[in-house]
Amino acid sequence: MFRIRRIFDDVIPVNRDALNQVRGILNKRFPQAPEEDIIHIGDKLRNPFKLRFRPILFVAENMRHKVLGFAMVLHEPEINFCFLDWIATARDTLRGGLGSALYERVRSECSSLGVRGLFFECLPDTQGACDPEILKENVARLRFYERYGARPIAGTAYEISVGQWISDNNNKADIKALPSDKVDVGNVPSDKKDVGDAPSDKADVGDPHPDKVDSYGSCSPFLVYDALGSDKPLSRNHARRVVRAILERKYAELCPPDYVEMVVTSIKQNPVKIRPFCHVRPEKVKKNVDSGLKEKIALVINKRHEIHHIHERGYVESPVRVRSILSEIEKTGLFDIMETEAFPDTHIHGIHDADYLAYLVSACEETAEGKSLYPYVFPIRNKTRPPRETTVLPGYYCIDTFTPINRNAYPAARGGVDAALTAAKALLEGRRVSYALVRPPGHHAERRAFGGFCYLNNTAIAAQFLREHGRVAILDIDYHHGNGQQDIFYNRSDILTVSIHGHPAFAYPYFTGFEDEVGADEGEGFNLNIPLEEAVNGEEYVKALSRALRRISDFEPDFLVVALGLDTARHDPTGTWSLTPSDFRMNGRMIGETGLPVLVIQEGGYRTRNLGINARNFFQGMADVVFSVTGRKSLHDLSHKGMKISYEPIDGDVEKIEKLVESTGFFRPDEIKIALELVRERLEKGAESGYFFVIARKGDKITGYGCYGPVPCTLTSHDIYWVAVSPDLQGRGLGKIILSEMERLISEAGGLKVYVETSMQPGYASTRAFYERCGYNCNVVLEDFYAPGDGKAIYSKTVGFKIA
């Protein structure tokens, strides 16, 4: 039994171990592979600049985290294709469907990214091309891929090796040998009806021996194309761009420019010819791609929550809250339910004082079944002189009058701790998102006090657990201040605490949550409170969340723990704000865009009519980003309106963009001239110009476009130069789609910050409002920059995260 998961980085131990096992497989299966490629495979995940591809690594592992096989895919978002760089299984893994499972997972990912095809290299299966033993292995490989409709591109010079080209042209340049075929399918299925007569144990082969292959000399690879189930033919222009990117980036040190031109221009047919089926009958081809989510959110439910039920009128923290959330999120298909593990009390004692815990346990045990003990006397706390009366003690350990002690409070809260720690452990095992659906909540529980329906601080306990494996940031997005985390970590710098909440002037807990509470001693500067006004809508909340995420980005954590309060919603009985389901989806998306492993722990939210709907939207927004299945959804929406997105200007676009920009009425002639110069430079120099485009087209018309590029002399900063939309389409979301697509491309290229400059003139108020709605913050205004009375506003947004 095995599972396939994606490895995003080498931060957590389980990922580092998996990468070491991948290196071991590479050394065994591909002994000719450059040692540097093997050693630095983790670097590729962290630094996509090196190859100008976005690497995606999948590992197949058993329940003991032994890696049984892996696949590395290179995603090129601008040209919109994927290249399968490696696929291999361990030598002792011959059966069990690993090769098929890995390849199908790769196809699923490519489909969800919306790419136009998957490309890879495979040694030829033609008689006389290779040594007979190698030929047999190549036939098995290509037979396997034909089962999915993937076949070699025909009629081009891709199969001509660099050495052969040099020899044919009497070129004596010193050229390194290209590496041998790195696409090694593990266990090609043995069903002879589908894959011919090669048994699976013979099809699982390592790299051909170098002295038989002549290093791609007389046994040069095919370029294989998988259309991912599409019937749309491969166009010549797209194929040329793909081949150029492969040769110039992946084999930059091996392929001279003249050789690259020779191969690219050899692609003459339009559409490109794909070789007919040779090994599999066409009716046997598995064309459909399972584009459903393979990675899901780990869901851990505190099954003991129902024993804690206060049946008194007006007590809103009730079991129906969990049922309301669960009924809605189950509809999404986003979640894997995990059984709760039992964890020792040492994790709790690391957060809460021993005397408080001893009181909580004994008080709950001593309270009669069905009875509740409410605090009513609150002495000034003197740790050396606690009161003796049982009825008075709750006030010594509590911060309010409405959180009772009863027989089941501690057992229910203790179950919540186990659920939170189980969800935290799921991150250490490779999950990208996990969710502890717990009650009672916990974020108001301080080191030695309970209150606000909270007894044990699940968020703080889980954060401390994760801290043993990396830096941790806590983001509390409950309507009420996360006073518990602030109290517990106030003097520490290794865990950042951030809280967005109603101002304590009117919101519980009233005594904490002020902006000037920034931490103390070593923790000074590591507690950020963002108190907001009594009336807050979604747009205003996005600004606060952007500020919070910028601070988290600066902290450079390895894990993010989110205390999820849904009491920020409209009509919640404990709040005053007016967030809607779409606002929660945006919030989830923004948090997902951090790229961090995220542990979500349920806190408040008490209007059960829409509680589950808001939770569902929050997680759908997060999944849109984390699992790479959307970010393309808006682009698909465009296709329904007859529009499509392209990423390269073509002949004739200069005039069309000129007409578009003029039609907006926003820009002066000299500004329009600059816009057209950027288009011309891209047409002339391509990517070397430093200008990149997202263009919306409808038929022969350009309906909107954006232009962006890296800021010179920086590593991770980008400028948005232009966003323009046809006047008849303004206000319909096209500008936001174009901007979001540029942000996605910047983030996937390793970008961190995006900057936008615009005028402070009244006529640009709508432009400034547009960027603010999209999560941009105004960093500075330069007075009289463009002209007297016309200042320049500089906006920025974080779209990626720093990587140490």
**Sequence-ordered strand ranges (E) for 548-607:** 559-564, 598-602
Report the candidate in 438, 418, 434 with the shortest Cα–Cα distance to residue 306.
438
Report d(CA 233, CA 541) in Å as an integer: 46
User: How far, CA to CA in Å, does 430 sit from each of 7, 330, 336, 542?
Assistant: 7, 22, 14, 29
Strands 222-226 and 118-122 turn out to be antiparallel
Residue for token pair 């196809």: 107
Report d(CA 686, CA 566) in Å as an integer: 47
Report the candidate in 597, 571, 496, 479 with the shortest Cα–Cα distance to residue 533.
479
Q: For residue 494, which amino acid is it?
A: D
Q: How does DSSP assign 615-634, residue by residue?
A: HHHHHHHHHHHHTSS-SSHH
Sheet holding 644-646, edge to edge: 644-646, 692-698, 701-710, 717-725, 753-759, 790-798, 777-787
Residue 444 among the catalytic residues: yes
Residue of 75, 444, 480, 481 marked catalytic = 444
User: How far, CA to CA in Å, does 571 sit from each of 171, 524, 568, 580?
Assistant: 77, 36, 9, 10
Q: Are 606 and 574 in contact (CB under 8 A)?
A: yes
Is the N-terminal amide bond of 788 cis, ω within 30° of 0?
no
User: How far, CA to CA in Å, does 702 sit from each of 387, 470, 635?
Assistant: 76, 48, 15
Report the candidate in 12, 9, 1 with the shortest Cα–Cα distance to residue 595.
9
Report d(CA 158, CA 275) in Å as an integer: 14
Paired residues of 787 in beta bridges: 790
Report the candidate in 149, 132, 154, 123 with the shortest Cα–Cα distance to residue 221.
123
Catalytic residue positions, numbered: 444
